[in-house]
Amino acid sequence: MGLRERKKEQTRRRIAEVALRLFDERGYDAVTVNEIAEAAGVAKVTLFNYFPTKDCLVTEGIKDDLAAIVAGRPEGVTPLGALREHYRALAAQGAGEMDVESLLTRVRVISSSQALMGALHGVRMGERYELAEALKEAHRGDDLTAQLMAAQITAAVTTVQEAFFQRIAAGVPLEEAGGRLAGDVEVAFDLLEHGLTTKGDKS
């Protein structure tokens, strides 16, 4: 990354950090874009160059590009196999370098705003539809099958992520939370691959 790119990334990070702090202190709806720009030391037009909408100040970076993981998987690897390996790798990285306070602040800000909850839902729905298209292409299947598969995958991944966030918020040590995340990933993808029978369903 060159000097110009580093400066742009620093500016982006500063704007996002200032916005998150103000939202946490006063509430998302009470803070204006003008106030954020002024506090971050940038022009309003500069802020919008980095974040096209107010909600992007919080939701940008949340989306997982599951469709790209499926489309870019190595030859011979199934879509579920590629996704499992992706989340295994994330869990294996651990939470040692994670900015826990920033993460908890983001979760708190989003959960306290109906507008942001709606924006987050829109992000998740877009993620799901893109994944469905990638799965349809991968399996040469029909729309409904791809949509059902995508819905199950995104629901499983979201549930695993939420469980991790809840543990962190409850004060579970990072190392323990990371270890449990790794186990949750395996449980989630076992269920996606094999169904409830893997958990001892006798019916």
Q: What DSSP assignment string belongs to 5-48?
A: HHHHHHHHHHHHHHHHHHHHHH-TTT--HHHHHHHHTS-HHHHH
The span from the CA of 51 to the CA of 49, in Å, is: 6
Q: What percent of the chain has a predicted confidence (pLDDT) above 70?
A: 94
Judge contact between 46 and 134, C-beta under 8 A: no
| Best-predicted range by mean pLDDT (19-28, 173-182, 191-200) | 19-28
**Domain boundary, last residue among 54, 70, 93:** 54
Judge contact between 149 and 71, C-beta under 8 A: no
Verify that 103 and 48 share a domain, yes or no: no
Structural domain count of the chain: 2
pLDDT tens, residue by residue, 91-107:
887 655 567 788 889 88
Verify that 87 and 18 share a domain, yes or no: no
Judge contact between 181 and 160, C-beta under 8 A: yes
* Domain range enclosing 41: 3-54
Verify that 170 and 145 share a domain, yes or no: yes
Q: DSSP secondary-structure letter at 74?
A: P
CATH assignment at residue 22:
1.10.10.60
> How much is the pTM?
0.82
